[in-house]
């Protein structure tokens, strides 16, 4: 595929500087791009590389120096580059139907353009929407409902009754709808509380590899529309996430916690159960959140506190041994002065 710089600018809603008929056939970084490729500048600290890149064109933010090169100016070069990667390189897979070696039970409903690879298993009562792709090792338990344009990569398991919306991608090894961690004390032992709810994954969600999302004890564990989960995320039973949340690797969210819309949780964040995190809140990496967090906050640390306060506190930590030594010297000096005063008194 080749596109002129003019066509690319129209696709991105940007403006061209230089030759609009320049042909572009691919994309690369500022360092690696060559003739016939377009690159991008998203971070100002790399602005000097615009002058030395061998790319045929550069995607730039407003006000950036094009150094005499062909350029397309857009408000968000990083987003523009992502859109061009989709345009040039992402192609819809050709549907291949139910392939030999796949197991599809009687009574399964399949939409148009479904692909089920060998080794996938689809149980009775499952509903598959249009253009669903199930890779080898996918297991869909009875009563699962899958929307349109869904891709489940190898060894994904979706347990009984759970629902997956439209345009959802789930990566290798993730489990949707495993039992929530619920046990009632019974003397010295524990009695398992049956988990009879489901998981609902709404439209336009992407879930990374080896995540676990537990079914609700009674009702629904819900992943809100547009939310993105990195690899190795654990979401407990009855958790509700809002829309367009970003949850980074190794986050753990305890049961019955609710996230607002557009919440961002950094890597290895831990959230206690039965709390609420408000809209547009950001939680720094490795933070522990023991209680509710209002909307529009940035918090860090364990226990989490406002981020600016955490920065000040973390700056003190390395100096604590020095402060302890100074405090000990002052304490000794005070004792000496008190002793002298006592002698004179």
CA dihedral 15, 17, 20, 24 (to 10 degrees): -90
Q: Is the pLDDT of residue 48 over 90?
A: yes
341 lies in some domain: no
Please report the pLDDT score of residue 342 as a whole number.
86
Q: pLDDT tens, 49-74?
A: 999 999 999 999 999 999 999 999 99
Residues 6+ apart with CB under 8 A from 125: 105, 107, 108, 142, 143, 144
* One domain, residues 84 and 113: no
The Cα–Cα gap between 141 and 163 comes to 11
Q: pLDDT tens, 210-235?
A: 999 999 999 999 999 999 999 999 99
In the listed set 69, 89, 109, which residue is the last one of a domain according to the structure? 89
314 lies in some domain: no
* One domain, residues 75 and 119: no
Q: What is the mean pLDDT of residues 115-143?
A: 98
- Residue found under tokens 């700056």: 315
Please report the pLDDT score of residue 40 as a whole number.
95
Q: pLDDT tens, 136-150?
A: 999 999 999 999 999
Least confident of 173-182, 184-193, 311-320: 311-320
335 lies in some domain: no
Q: Is the pTM of this model over 0.75?
A: yes
334 lies in some domain: no
The Cα–Cα gap between 133 and 149 comes to 8
Q: Is the pLDDT of residue 167 over 90?
A: yes
Owning domain of residue 198:
97-308
Q: What is the mean pLDDT of residues 26-42?
A: 95
73 lies in some domain: yes
Q: Is the pLDDT of residue 82 over 90?
A: yes
Q: Which two tokens stand for residue 121?
A: 């298993």
The Cα–Cα gap between 45 and 218 comes to 52
SS3 category, 127: strand
Residue 343 binned pLDDT confidence (cut-offs 50, 70, 90)? confident
206 lies in some domain: yes
Q: Is the pLDDT of residue 345 over 80?
A: no
* One domain, residues 67 and 207: no
Domains: count for the chain: 2
* One domain, residues 133 and 252: yes
* One domain, residues 235 and 112: yes
The Cα–Cα gap between 143 and 323 comes to 63
* One domain, residues 120 and 66: no
Query: Of these residues, 153, 237, 274, 307, which one is catalytic?
Result: 237
330 lies in some domain: no
What's 149's domain CATH number? Answer: 2.160.10.10
Q: Which two tokens stand for residue 213?
A: 């999302």
Is 237 among the catalytic positions? yes
315 lies in some domain: no
* One domain, residues 184 and 251: yes
* One domain, residues 164 and 61: no
Helix (H), strand (E) at residue 334? helix 320-344
* One domain, residues 240 and 111: yes
Please report the pLDDT score of residue 303 as a whole number.
94
Q: pLDDT tens, 290-341?
A: 999 999 999 999 999 999 998 888 888 898 899 899 999 999 999 989 888 8
What's 71's domain CATH number? Answer: 3.40.1390.10
Mean of the per-residue pLDDT values for the chain? 95
């Amino acid at each position: 595929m080749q596109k002129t710089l003019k066509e690319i600018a129209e696709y991105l809603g940007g403006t061209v500087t230089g030759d609009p008929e320049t042909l572009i056939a691919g994309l690369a970084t500022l360092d690696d791009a060559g003739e016939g490729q377009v690159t991008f500048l998203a971070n100002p600290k790399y602005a000097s590389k615009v002058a030395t890149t061998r790319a045929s064109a550069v995607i730039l933010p407003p006000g950036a120096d094009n150094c005499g090169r062909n350029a397309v100016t857009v408000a968000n070069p990083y987003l523009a580059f992502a859109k061009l990667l989709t345009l040039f390189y992402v192609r819809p897979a050709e549907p291949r139907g139910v392939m030999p070696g796949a197991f599809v039970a009687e009574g399964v409903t399949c939409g148009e353009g479904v692909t089920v690879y060998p080794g996938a298993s689809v149980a009775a009562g499952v509903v598959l929407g249009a253009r669903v792709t199930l890779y080898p090792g996918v297991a869909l338990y009875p009563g699962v409902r899958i929307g349109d344009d869904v891709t489940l990569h190898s060894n994904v398991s979706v347990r009984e009754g759970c629902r997956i919306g439209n345009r959802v991608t789930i990566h290798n090894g993730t489990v949707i709808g495993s039992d929530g961690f619920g046990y009632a004390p019974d003397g010295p032992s524990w009695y398992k509380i049956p988990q009879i709810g489901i998981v609902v994954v709404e439209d336009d969600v992407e879930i990374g590899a080896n995540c676990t999302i537990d079914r609700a004890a009674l009702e629904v564990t819900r992943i809100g529309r547009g939310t993105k989960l990195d690899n190795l995320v654990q979401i407990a039973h009855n958790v509700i996430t809002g829309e367009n949340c970003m949850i980074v690797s190794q986050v753990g969210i305890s049961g019955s916690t609710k996230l607002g819309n557009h919440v961002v949780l950094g890597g290895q964040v831990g959230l206690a159960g039965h709390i609420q995190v408000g809209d547009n809140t950001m939680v720094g990496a490795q933070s522990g959140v023991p209680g509710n967090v209002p909307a529009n906050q940035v918090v860090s640390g364990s226990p989490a506190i406002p981020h600016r306060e955490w920065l000040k506190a973390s700056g003190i930590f390395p100096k604590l041994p020095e402060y302890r030594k100074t405090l000990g010297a002052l304490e000794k000096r005070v004792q000496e002065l008190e002793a002298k005063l006592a002698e004179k008194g």
